[in-house]
Amino acid sequence: MRKFGLTLFCLLAFGSPAVAADWVEIVAGRERSVEIDRNSILQSDPGTKVAWGRIVMKNDEVESAGYKSVKALNRYDCGAATFSTIKRVYLDPDQNVIREERIVEPKVIEVTPGSVDERLFREVCQPPTASRLAEIAEQAKAAAEAQVAADDQAAATVAHGDEDNAGDGKSIVPRIVKPLSAAERRAAVAASVAARERAVARRVADGHGGADEAHAPSAGHGTADDGEAANAHAKADTPAGANTRAKADTHAKPESHDAPATHASADGHAAPAPKPRARTIESKPLKPRIVLARAEPKSTHEKSASHAAKNPPSASRPHVSWSYEGPGAPENWASLDPEFATCGSGRRQSPIDINDGIKVDLTPIEFEYRPSYFRIVDNGHTVQVNVGEGSSIRVMRRVYDLKQFHFHRPSEFRIDGRGYDMEMHLVHKDLDGRLAVVSVMLERGTSHPLVQTLWNNLPLERHSSYAPEVAIDPNDMLPTDQRYATFIGSLTTPPCTEGVLWMVMRQPVQLSLDQISIFSRLHPMNARPIQEMAGRLVKMSR
């Protein structure tokens, strides 16, 4: 058995004529989605399974990440509830391999309850049983039938002139509130579609077509009937297309457009069409559940007003980009763009002078940084280094993934009134979008090998990037003494978003004078002035 498991693992890791991938979306985020290949889930050793998962970046994140998706081959210990990553593959938007990373010493990681890792673990190790799928299907069937009946009753009530008492039928619709796996979602969608089709077929067989058809408007004012809507729904949820859609229902119905259509009235003028009733099966990314609801489209006037509010006319003044001097200097950031208003009105802004904190026994930051290839870019404001997946920190019982780090000159923060030659910010984000930034002060001294590697690979032009075939280890940028000060602050650049967890390391790291001078030629000054404390609490390691 051990030999069989090892052979199977080698086939998965290094390539085999396997069946086509069947990627199923586990989490859909604003910046990236997490998926798993169901066809790659195979038994390795007794109690152990292997599977491919991947992170897919949204289009606006591809440039900063340097890749479109990263696939990871994971080994899951179903009994111990742990997993380890064996291999990573980075791909571009055309699915060409950018690079591969084979993990020499895989780290065993415990599955954290409520995390994305747990959801992947459930898909691999705890597939739903037949009885569980039947239970989900029955609940979805009851929900669909109850919604159809409620809609018929509401339509009949409106047709008889009692629109105020029509209600929306939501109170009698059972909900599936337990988080569903991808297989469970597919079973629920299929059962719901089948139940609706049966309801429509019964109405047609009865000869009256249901309340919606019995009281349909006259010619020229009709809307799509329930049979057409159900057929469109069924086409959207065929097995070939059901792999990655938790919300396919919302795109399948012809009556769910944002703006209502118009129909010619008797006097030749345009009259608004009756408001459509869109029944949707909606699945939230983190806690999927089936919710049947009624969608009310915005009017054209409402959409125009909303757009105007978000995009006020700017012809009265020329556009000014934010910067560190001149019209776009920090004192003017709040007036440059409505989205930058927090830069002027916020009460938890960064940077600050750390000089009056309380000294306590802070829990050390758990740095889980790993060597990674990188992409370096001069974005016009700083030199930024984007790193690959796999590096993270754990602090205050939360895990934050390292996204990028960048530099400021001079330092933005001060410690006991003292500033430094430069400062580095390591920017992290958790799966809920919360930010955590580790700040490292940089002072004149000996040359730093990692920084020299970065400067050796600087792009020749601003707003361009370069990804060399060399790896760096972010651990090399950390001081040996990892005591720190922590507080809640903001981004130090527009839009100055607040709620950022800051951890400022007390011990500086040295750079040579030449290394500082190279950055100074690119960005002589890119530091925001010190902001008010505004009564914030700062805790410092003793």
Other C-beta atoms closer than 10 Å to the C-beta of 227 total 18
Q: Is residue 335 part of a domain?
A: yes
Name the band, by pLDDT with cuts 50, 70 and 90, for residue 211.
Answer: very low
Number of domains in the chain: 3
Q: Do 64 and 184 belong to one domain?
A: no
pLDDT tens digits for range 160-180: 555 444 444 433 334 444 455
pLDDT confidence of 336, banded at 50, 70, 90?
Answer: very high
Q: What pLDDT score was predicted for residue 537?
A: 96
Please state the rounded mean pLDDT for residues 487-494.
97
- pLDDT value for 223: 37
The pLDDT value recorded for residue 250 is: 39
Scored b (16 or more CB within 10 A) or e, 405-418 reads: bbbbbbbbbbbeee
**Do 98 and 238 reside in the same domain of the chain?**
no
Same-domain pairing of 380 and 472: yes
Quickly tell me which residue has 């075939």 as its tokens. 469
Q: Which of 73, 106, 125 is the last residue of a domain?
A: 125
Q: pLDDT grade, residue 263 (50/70/90)? A: very low
pLDDT at 180: 58
Strand (E) or helix (H) holding 28: strand 23-28
Domain annotation covers residue 268: no
* Distance between CA atoms of residues 274 and 272, nearest Å: 7
Q: Are 162 and 283 within one domain?
A: yes
pLDDT for res 267: 40
189 in the same domain as 87:
no
CATH number of the domain that residue 37 is part of: 2.40.128.710
- Whole-angstrom distance, CA of residue 221 vs CA of residue 412: 64
Distance CA 261, CA 264 (A): 10
User: 298 pLDDT exceeds 80?
Assistant: no
pTM for the whole thing? 0.50
Whether the per-residue pLDDT at 185 is higher than 80: the answer is no
Q: Lowest mean pLDDT of 62-76, 403-417, 426-440, 479-493, name the range.
A: 62-76
d(CA 237, CA 356): 60
Once rounded to an integer, what is the mean pLDDT over residues 436-443?
98
Domain end point (choices 125, 157, 187)? 125
The answer to whether residue 314 sits within a structural domain is no
Least confident of 109-113, 128-132, 518-522: 128-132
Which has more pLDDT, 230 or 341?
341
Reported as a single tens digit per residue, the pLDDT across 382-396 is: 999 999 888 999 999
| Statement to judge: residues 55 and 174 lie in one domain | no
pLDDT at 112 over 70: yes
- 422 lies in some domain: yes
- Tens digits of residue pLDDT in 451-483: 999 999 999 999 999 999 899 999 999 999 999
Q: 363 vs 112, 235, 290, 484, 485, CA distance in Å?
A: 20, 54, 41, 10, 11
Q: In the chain, pLDDT over 90 holds for what percent of residues?
A: 43
**pLDDT at 303 (0 to 100):** 44
For residues 343-359, average pLDDT: 95
146 lies in the same domain as 81 = no
Q: Find how far residue 365's CA is from the centre of its chain.
A: 24
Residue 20 or residue 98, greater confidence: 98
Q: How confident is the model at residue 513 (pLDDT cuts 50, 70, 90)?
A: very high
Q: Examine the domain organization and report whether 282 and 331 are in the same domain.
A: no
The predicted structure's pLDDT at residue 47: 79
158 confidence band (pLDDT: 50, 70, 90):
low
Lowest-pLDDT choice from 19-28, 298-307, 395-404: 298-307
| pLDDT bracket for residue 337 (50, 70, 90) | very high
469 within a domain of the structure (yes/no): yes
Q: What is the pLDDT of residue 5?
A: 44
Residue 264 domain-assigned (yes or no): no
Task: Please identify, among 99, 125, 151, the residue that sits at the C-terminal boundary of a domain.
Answer: 125
User: How many whole angstroms separate alpha carbon 356 and alpha carbon 539?
Assistant: 9
- 266 found inside a domain: no
Q: Has residue 321 been placed in a domain?
A: no
Average pLDDT over residues 80-84: 89
How confident is residue 216, by pLDDT bands cut at 50, 70 and 90?
A: very low
What is the pLDDT, as a whole number, of residue 30? 76
CB 389, CB 88: distance < 8 Å? yes
- Mean model confidence pLDDT for the chain: 76
Residues 105 and 169 in one domain: no
Evaluate the CA torsion angle 234, 257, 285, 56 in order and state its sign. positive
For residues 412-421, average pLDDT: 96
CATH number at residue 361: 3.10.200.10
pLDDT of residue 127: 66
Neighbours of 162 (CB within 10 A): 10
Residues 87 and 150 in one domain: no
80: CB partners within 8 A, 6+ apart = none
Together in a domain, 98 and 169: no
Give mean pLDDT, residues 43-52: 80
Active-site residues, by number, are: 381
| Residue span of the structural domain in which 47 resides | 2-125
pLDDT tens digit string along 86-97?
Answer: 889 898 888 888
Is residue 351 domain-shared with residue 417, that is, in the same domain? yes
Is the Cβ–Cβ distance between 51 and 42 less than 8 Å? yes
